[in-house]
Amino acid sequence: MRPVLAITMGDPAGIGAEISVKALGHEKIYRECIPYVIGDRYALENAVVFTGSKLKLRQVEKTEELQGKFGTVEYFDRKCLQKNGWEYGKVSATCGNAAFQYIKKAIELAMKHEVLGVVTAPINKEALHKAGYRYSGHTEIFADLTGCRKYAMMLLSHSLRVIHVSTHVSLRQACDLVKRKRVLDVIQLANDALNLMGISHPRIAVAGLNPHSSEDGLFGDEEKKEIIPAIQDAVRLGFCVEGPVPPDTVFVKAVGGQYDIVVAMYHDQGHIPMKLCGFKMDPATRAFTSVSGVNCTVGLPIIRTSVDHGTAFDKAATGTANEESMVEAIRVAVQMAKRKYKLS
């Protein structure tokens, strides 16, 4: 039983259409799921051309009409774009609105269980704001449109998993958001998400906020006041959790296999080690040779995974974008959907 997954095309001015088309050129995806691209006809037609793909496009209005055959990209035309009505690599309200409309449609399908998960291509926050949508990213859009209040961003690579206490806020605000209840909530979200990925009793490490986890109060008191009490609460609830582990060593330990996931206190604390693990660059050409990693929003009533990179406006319409992260995001969504909906 293959789950139907909605794949949102992302900002049309970026690489979203391209990596969607390239990812669906992998036959193994069709053995595991039925992909359904939510986007615009003209952008997908362009992507087929500049990638040199031999895939065919088939417009599908209703999910019950999906066939899920390799060689054909089935898509819903949101009709937000005019032919040649946008410019690649350029921020615009037109593209920001289109990206939002793709997400909105996919969420509607998921909330009605017409699709069993949503996989998102990257959006541009400036374009989103130009279109009048005051969200700081995908995570906040999904939380708002699904009515979810307790959620978190999780990043996964082949060697590391990270979940965040806070994400798209200033560093000053991030420090203020390290509160006992929020840390405990994120520990619980991490445990539930890894259960959905097949890890029955995950080993969770909680990073400190301050250098060396404050050295018993020498460099701050957030550990003593907020983080340690949250960890003690989690232990009483039966979670396998340790910390606060100094942030300069906790990720090394996780990559080494000591922990299944790290609770990071803020955006860059988690993102920097994740991208060091998943991104590879050729020193001679300065081009990325590997862009792996998956972004998940956990705690939602629906499954949502995403690529772990941006719109790459500099590569848009060149046919050179790497689809590796999109392929991985689809794979993780399939894994989670099969467990959530008990598909054999």
State the pLDDT at residue 284: 87
State the pLDDT at residue 216: 87
Same fold, 1-148+300-344 and 151-292: yes
- The correct answer on CATH 3.40.718.10 for the domain covering 151-292 is yes
In sequence order, the 6+-apart residues with CB closer than 8 A to the CB of 231 are: 183, 187, 206, 241, 242, 243, 244
Residue-by-residue pLDDT tens, the chain, 344 positions: 899 999 999 999 999 999 999 999 999 999 999 999 999 999 999 999 999 999 999 999 999 999 999 999 999 999 999 999 999 999 999 999 999 999 999 999 999 999 999 999 999 999 999 999 999 899 999 999 999 999 999 999 989 999 999 998 999 999 999 999 999 999 999 999 999 999 999 999 999 999 999 998 889 999 999 999 999 999 999 999 999 999 999 999 999 999 999 999 999 999 999 999 888 888 888 777 777 789 999 999 999 999 989 999 999 999 999 999 999 999 999 999 999 999 97
Q: Report the CATH architecture of 1-148+300-344.
A: 3-Layer(aba) Sandwich (3.40)
Report how far residue 325's alpha carbon sits from residue 305's, in angstroms, rounded to the nearest whole number. Answer: 10
Report how far residue 11's alpha carbon sits from residue 88's, in angstroms, rounded to the nearest whole number. Answer: 10
Q: Which residues pair with 57 in a beta bridge?
A: 73
Q: Is the sign of the CA dihedral 277, 283, 289, 295 positive or negative?
A: positive
Which helix (H) or strand (E) segment holds residue 173: the answer is helix 171-176
* Domain residue extents for the chain: 1-148+300-344, 151-292
Q: Report pTM.
A: 0.93
3-state DSSP assignment of residue 82: coil
Query: Residue 307, CB half-sphere, CA atoms under 13 Å: how many?
Result: 29
State the pLDDT at residue 59: 98
Report how far residue 202's alpha carbon sits from residue 304's, in angstroms, rounded to the nearest whole number. Answer: 21
Closest CA to 128 of 150, 163, 104, 147: 104
